[in-house]
Structure 1
Amino acid sequence: MKDLVGKKGVQLNGFLGIYLLAVFMIWIKTYITQLTQFDLSVEGTLQHFLLLINPLGSALLFLSVAFLFRGKRKMSILVVVYTLMTILLYSNVVYYRFFSDFITLPTIYQPQNFGDLTGSVFALIRPLDLLYFIDVALLIYLRIAKKEQFKQVKTGFKMPVIAVALALIVSSMNLLLAEKDRPDLLARGFDRSYIVKYLGMYNYAIYDTVKTAEASSERALADSSDITEIINYTKSNYAEPNPEYFGKAKDMNVIYLHLESMQSFLIDYELNGQQVTPFLNSLAKNENTMFFDNFYHQTAQGKTSDAEFMLENSLYGLPQGSAFITKGQNKYEAAPTILKDYGYTSAVFHGNSGTFWNRNIIYDQFGYDEFFSADSYDTSDPKNMAEYGLLDKPFFEQSQSLLETLPQPFYTKFITVANHFPFKMDQDLVTIDKATTGDTSVDNYFQTARYADEAIEEFFTYLKESGLYDNTMIVMYGDHYGISDNHNRAMSEIIGEEVTPVVNADLQRVPLLIYVPGMEGGINHTYAGQMDLLPTVLHLLGVETQNNIHFGSDILSADHSEVIPFRNGNFVSPTIYSLDGKYYDRKTGLELDPSQYEQAEKLHAMVQEKLNYSDKVVNGDLLRFYSKDGKVLSE
């Protein structure tokens, strides 16, 4: 213990004292951040205790790396490690403010997207955030002020051993207590908030790295035998098409309208006596339009790219990062590829950079014939530009001539951008007042949503005047939430009720409107998700899907499953909601009594199985072993 204690106690003026100071500062800073900046649903004494101690083991361990170095390098390494831990913590704070989620390693693989996110990031940064780096400045000052003192500093062999031992003791106790409160925490994964709550931000980063490495190794280890179990599963869960609707849109053109950040609560919502989306409201009541009012987004960290991935493939996005980025070279049997056999040409229209979300690569893998990105549009006028590309009205106007170059029948997708966080809009372009909750994101949201609605109306006018309207199926879908649950206080004011867990889940509903000339429309209350779009659209086109590897099912089928999984393992259904480890009665919004758990746990197991099988397909690139006529292939 001589290394630990000097003649007058702990040598607080030496390296050991600064190490202990650094451990204390990062520990307390991380604890306060986890407690105040993240919604981790901490309940009970044990969970509060775990939240308190979980940063301590990580701080002791990571900062002890400095003991491996000699002399003044020891202090330099301590400062570097401390700074990196602070950057990791603060980056997650900023990321969480919008996504209500934590950064994963695959999201760091997406640097090509960062340049286009500048405005959104700045909107999330607050002046008081400088407080996160005051302690970093203190350590840098100590490193400079005491540099001579650290030239010959020695701590011996015992100190790093003691530091690591203490770290392992604290971390082991943390893990044991966490497993006691939440059995199989690491084996079952749950969602990222559970890992952070029980194990802390830094251990979560290690867990995420391990899970990412496991997923990356799956492709190398996969072979053709792995697809057989998947085939059996998807065939056993196949939903026969509804004969009333099968082929209702046969040989028609297909237009997808990607409604950025549009949530279902906007349909028929009035702000200060004005309808926010009057045109979408009228479409929901159109005699040839079916409006699905229980349609949920199922996106994760990939957000917009996840939505596209699901509607094109009926495969789930990944639990970490975006499949558009990390699985861009996989083999897919996406909608454009399937429809080539039926004479369809295909194209995507998007007034942003073709590299954003790796679209210029993955669209080729999906089988698209054309991708009209920013290079195909006039983006020279700043007044026509949003943060993520061309504003919706000039975008649709300029897309008209491009659309007319495509042979019919065509399969197309138009990606809008105006209604995107942080929902800024030139006030010369707005036609509705802001809300007045005091939450800037929520208040601005209604102006950009109204603008998007007006742009869609103008595009419909063009479709009618050009004659396309009478021979085109138009599918309008929301890609993900616009207002995250970090804004639930303001949202409770907007919707006029408390945002309970069940209400929050229902706020994840996004619009789905399917217009087919000659089809009887109406409001459809069936529970469905984005995974279900592909088989639904293909069946409307008269395309059989029994041999396709799809994890969604035709919404219009009598066999459609109304259990809608979310990417984190939660689910909703007409009777039971599973949210963050708790089961709720859909009608009452109250937690189920444990005596009612049996059915809920069966549904939960079914959800996990479906997610796991889909992940096997994507991570293992298993479709390379499967032909479109249903045969298993060798690589």
Structure 2
Amino acid sequence: MQRIGMTIKKWWPDFNSTVGFFILSVFLVTLKTYWAYQVEFSLGAKGLLQQFLLILNPIPTAIILLGIALYFRGRLAYWLMLLINLIQTLWLFANVLYYREFTDFISLNIMKAGGSVQNNLSKAIGGIVQPIDFIVFVDIIVLVILLSFKIIKVDKTAVQKRFAMLVTAFGFVMMLTVFGIASGDRSGLLTRTFDNNYIVKYLGLNEYAAYNVVKTREQSNEVKKAKPADLDKIKKFVNENRTLDNAVTFGKAKGKNVIIFHLESFQQFMLDYRWDGQEVTPNLNAFYHDQNTTAFDNFYNEVGQGKTADAELMLETSLFGTSSGSVMSNYGTSNTFQAMPALLAQEGGYTSAAFHGDVPSFWNRDNTYKNWGYDYFFSKSYYKDADNPEYNVGYGMKDKIFLKDSAAYMEKLPQPFYSKVITVTNHYPYDLDKQNISINKTDTDDKTVDGYVQTARYLDQAFGEFEQYLKDSGLWDKSMIVLYGDHYGISENHKSAIAKLIGKKNVSATDLVNWQKVPFMIRVPGMQGGINHTYGGEIDVMPTLLDLLGIKDDAMIQFGSDMFSAQYKQIVPFRNGDWVSSEYMKIGSNYYVTSTGTKINPKMDPRAESAVKAANAYVEKSLAYSDKVIQGNLLRFANASEIPEKKDKSLSYKKSVGLAKLKKVQGLGTSVASQNDGKLTNYNTDAPELGGPKQTIQTGEENTNSNQIASPDSILSGHGSERNK
């Protein structure tokens, strides 16, 4: 025993030495990072090698960064180590919070776009933070206490410079070793992956930050390096994948107004969903089943870090969001686009308007919308008493109040018009004042999730009022009305709550993919609707709507296709490189049968292998080419005839300018208001802030444990590739 004690003492670091304190700090940083990997992130590490890399990959940067302190002596060295530890910990903590809501890691572009998303961020963060998160700070507190009470004494002896340099060199050698091991397990790790989870899993969170900075700089250089030939190659790919128009549906909505209703954070599972013995969204359910509504029930959100901004980008341009940051924030002002508002103005004489009850700078909308060719942008300043605290919740004006005033502006737009109405009340953290609550929270015991049905119900009520206005004003039968969900409301990190919501004990990997479904519903007066089981995504909205409007898009660079076309591929790419099709799913490095969720090895089935190989190639090229279009601003090389010309080059969304322009066009006689001798349609709302009755919670007659109409399998599983004609 004495010999064992002597051996331990010989090799055990002396924490009263600078080197000993350095080793202790490296160990603690590694320990808490590994803890975060396992507890706070869903990195999908499988097998001994990947678990080994999770332990190993925090060490190199910890050695390199903390090793900086070894070049100094005495108290300064110790406090430098603590400071560096704190900086790393703040980065780790910030990513823990960000990942919990967005299932991704913070990028440089997201930080640069902070001004676009800072509204109410502190409130959102307050709902995200959990007490367990602060574990990452415990080691720093303990070290400070140990130093303050001299339990660990400061070593005033300088560490030899040669030793400090060897430590730094060892850190870099170890980093290269980790990269070598990782590359052996995942080829093309830094050149082909679209998923930040892979970078963190294999290389580490700090290495991801460095990689992201390098990639961001590379992206900024893309514009300088881009040349016309780059666009020619992409045109070839787009034309090879272009589909023929559907002769039956093409032009069915020709000349009609377009009203796009943006369902904030609304997921497909909520349609026909019952909670507490009642329908959560009866008005949306009725629209979903309307005889003139085509509703796609296998439609997925495909957003990346830009979330709502990415959804808008795909809707307006059929381009994917980039793997990092928001295109609207980073490229919206300067890039050339082939966007819906400008195209419809040029080809169909449409007036265009966007409605949003928040500040115009959010996601750089004010500049991006000008670039896309929107004639009007009715943002928060246009609405009466918009800053009244009672009129606002979360990220802007309450939907009922916002929609009432929006209707008055819409009625003055010259017809035909193209409009986009962006709701915000059904946004995380799903808070609502008591006077507007009409249904009980769910009982998943997850505070992030349980308020979701309450704000979804409020959104549904607001839509119901808006729908009645459309009928009363006559716009209901003159318009193609489109409803779409922009992205998930409940992230896949809430697996336990999701399982309770859908009535399962556990959720599978394929369940979580199907959890990404959002509504896409198109109501065209006189056109037979129905539930359409075609697999599609947000990238397909623009070409689908253009074909219904009878507008040719052969000169457009689009990465989506008309979902009514018989040639439509039914392959839905996700921003991280995964995909789902009518037959198979790719999740990470695994493949599944879409209809059953059965895991397969494609190499065992020639047909599956061929289909998977073709889908992988299509998805990889689609994402890569879309990135090149955006990051290289390649559409500037397009022929002038291929870029829709904007009507108003001195566009201003200032309230006084917008109202004056709106007043001027009333003389054209094409707006609903001018056709009614200037009289506006009465808009009925029960918003208590405007004098309506306060909502009261009512429970249905059914057992509250029976919380859905459809079975869990029909909520999350696919419906096959057969379509309703």
| Paired position in structure 2 for 1:496 | 503
Secondary structure of the residue aligned to 1:225 is helix
Any conservation in 1 of the 2:127–2:448 contact (CA below 8 Å)? no
Structure 2 counterpart of 1:391, one-letter code: K
Compute the displacement of 1:622 (Å). Answer: 0.7
Any conservation in 2 of the 1:333–1:628 contact (CA below 8 Å)? no
The correspondence for 1:461, drawn from 455, 460, 468, is 468
| Paired position in structure 2 for 1:555 | 563
Q: Whole-Å Cα distance in 2 between the matches of residues 269 and 19 of structure 1?
A: 56
Q: Whole-Å Cα distance in 1 between the matches of residues 67 and 365 of structure 2?
A: 43
Structure 2 counterpart of 1:599, one-letter code: A
| Paired position in structure 2 for 1:430 | 437
Any conservation in 2 of the 1:76–1:143 contact (CA below 8 Å)? no
Structure 2 counterpart of 1:233, one-letter code: F
Q: Whole-Å Cα distance in 2 between the matches of residues 539 and 603 of structure 1?
A: 25
Compute the displacement of 1:324 (Å). Answer: 1.1
Secondary structure of the residue aligned to 1:346 is strand
**Equivalent runs, 1:58-77 vs 2, <5 Å:** 58-69=61-72, 72-77=75-80
Compute the displacement of 1:518 (Å). Answer: 1.2
Say yes or no: does 1:299 pair with 2:306. Answer: no
Structure 2 counterpart of 1:595, one-letter code: M
Deviations 1:104-134 (A, max 9, x none): 1111112212243221111011233333223
Compute the displacement of 1:235 (Å). Answer: 1.4
Compute the displacement of 1:242 (Å). Answer: 0.8
Q: Whole-Å Cα distance in 2 between the matches of residues 472 and 521 of structure 1?
A: 15
Cα 1:296–1:144 change in 2 (3 A) is: same
Moved more, 425-434 or 568-577: 425-434
| Paired position in structure 1 for 2:688 | none
**Equivalent runs, 1:506-517 vs 2, <5 Å:** 506-517=514-525
Secondary structure of the residue aligned to 2:352 is strand
Q: Whole-Å Cα distance in 2 between the matches of residues 151 and 64 of structure 1?
A: 16
| Paired position in structure 1 for 2:84 | 81
Say yes or no: does 1:227 pair with 2:235. Answer: no
Deviations 1:66-96 (A, max 9, x none): 2344665433432322111101111111111
| Paired position in structure 1 for 2:260 | 256
Deviations 1:412-432 (A, max 9, x none): 111001111111111221222
| Structure 1 vs Structure 2 CA RMSD | 2.2
**Equivalent runs, 1:162-241 vs 2, <5 Å:** 162-241=166-245
Compute the displacement of 1:609 (Å). Answer: 0.8
Compute the displacement of 1:628 (Å). Answer: 5.3
Cα 1:106–1:153 change in 2 (3 A) is: farther
Q: Whole-Å Cα distance in 2 between the matches of residues 365 and 304 of structure 1?
A: 18
Structure 2 counterpart of 1:613, one-letter code: Y
| Paired position in structure 2 for 1:608 | 620
Structure 1 counterpart of 2:598, one-letter code: L
Structure 2 counterpart of 1:258, one-letter code: H
Any conservation in 2 of the 1:348–1:368 contact (CA below 8 Å)? yes
| Paired position in structure 2 for 1:390 | 397
Q: Whole-Å Cα distance in 2 between the matches of residues 528 and 170 of structure 1?
A: 44
| Paired position in structure 1 for 2:130 | 126
Say yes or no: does 1:355 pair with 2:364. Answer: no
| Paired position in structure 2 for 1:539 | 547
Secondary structure of the residue aligned to 1:526 is strand
Q: Normalized against structure 2, the TM-score is what?
A: 0.83
The correspondence for 1:446, drawn from 450, 453, 471, is 453
Cα 1:363–1:142 change in 2 (3 A) is: farther
Any conservation in 2 of the 1:310–1:317 contact (CA below 8 Å)? yes
The correspondence for 1:25, drawn from 28, 37, 45, is 28
Cα 1:53–1:297 change in 2 (3 A) is: same
Q: Whole-Å Cα distance in 2 between the matches of residues 492 and 59 of structure 1?
A: 38
Deviations 1:512-541 (A, max 9, x none): 110111111111111110000001111111
Any conservation in 1 of the 2:26–2:63 contact (CA below 8 Å)? yes
The correspondence for 1:95, drawn from 95, 98, 120, is 98
Q: Whole-Å Cα distance in 1 between the matches of residues 119 and 142 of structure 2?
A: 31
Moved more, 171-180 or 49-58: 171-180
Compute the displacement of 1:208 (Å). Answer: 1.5
Q: Whole-Å Cα distance in 2 between the matches of residues 145 and 203 of structure 1?
A: 35
Q: Whole-Å Cα distance in 1 between the matches of residues 32 and 12 of structure 2?
A: 26
Cα 1:460–1:502 change in 2 (3 A) is: same
| Paired position in structure 2 for 1:625 | 637
Cα 1:631–1:296 change in 2 (3 A) is: closer
Structure 2 counterpart of 1:529, one-letter code: G
Cα 1:193–1:83 change in 2 (3 A) is: same
Deviations 1:298-319 (A, max 9, x none): 0011100100011000000010
Deviations 1:323-356 (A, max 9, x none): 1111122111110111111211111100011111
Q: 5+ unaligned residues in a row in structure 2: which ranges?
A: 1-8, 645-725
Compute the displacement of 1:271 (Å). Answer: 1.1
Deviations 1:16-72 (A, max 9, x none): 222222111111111111111111122211111111111111211121222344665
Secondary structure of the residue aligned to 1:293 is strand
Any conservation in 1 of the 2:18–2:70 contact (CA below 8 Å)? no
Structure 2 counterpart of 1:25, one-letter code: L
Q: 5+ unaligned residues in a row in structure 1: which ranges?
A: 1-5
Any conservation in 2 of the 1:302–1:322 contact (CA below 8 Å)? yes
Q: Whole-Å Cα distance in 2 between the matches of residues 40 and 336 of structure 1?
A: 40
Q: Whole-Å Cα distance in 1 between the matches of residues 536 and 10 of structure 2?
A: 71
Any conservation in 2 of the 1:235–1:547 contact (CA below 8 Å)? no
Moved more, 476-485 or 99-108: 99-108
Moved more, 166-175 or 525-534: 166-175
Deviations 1:410-460 (A, max 9, x none): 111110011111111112212222111111222211111111011011001
Structure 2 counterpart of 1:50, one-letter code: L
Q: Whole-Å Cα distance in 2 between the matches of residues 220 and 356 of structure 1?
A: 28
Compute the displacement of 1:588 (Å). Answer: 2.3
Say yes or no: does 1:336 pair with 2:341. Answer: yes
Secondary structure of the residue aligned to 2:355 is strand
Any conservation in 1 of the 2:337–2:643 contact (CA below 8 Å)? no
Any conservation in 1 of the 2:351–2:414 contact (CA below 8 Å)? yes
Any conservation in 2 of the 1:54–1:200 contact (CA below 8 Å)? yes
Q: Whole-Å Cα distance in 1 between the matches of residues 630 and 403 of structure 2?
A: 33
Secondary structure of the residue aligned to 2:191 is helix
Secondary structure of the residue aligned to 1:107 is helix
Say yes or no: does 1:276 pair with 2:280. Answer: yes
Moved more, 90-99 or 496-505: 496-505
The correspondence for 1:567, drawn from 555, 559, 575, is 575
Q: Normalized against structure 1, the TM-score is what?
A: 0.95
Q: Whole-Å Cα distance in 1 between the matches of residues 377 and 627 of structure 2?
A: 27
| Paired position in structure 2 for 1:3 | none
Q: Whole-Å Cα distance in 2 between the matches of residues 297 and 9 of structure 1?
A: 53
The correspondence for 1:529, drawn from 530, 533, 537, is 537
Moved more, 477-486 or 15-24: 15-24
Structure 2 counterpart of 1:622, one-letter code: L
Any conservation in 2 of the 1:283–1:289 contact (CA below 8 Å)? yes
Cα 1:518–1:7 change in 2 (3 A) is: closer
| Paired position in structure 1 for 2:693 | none
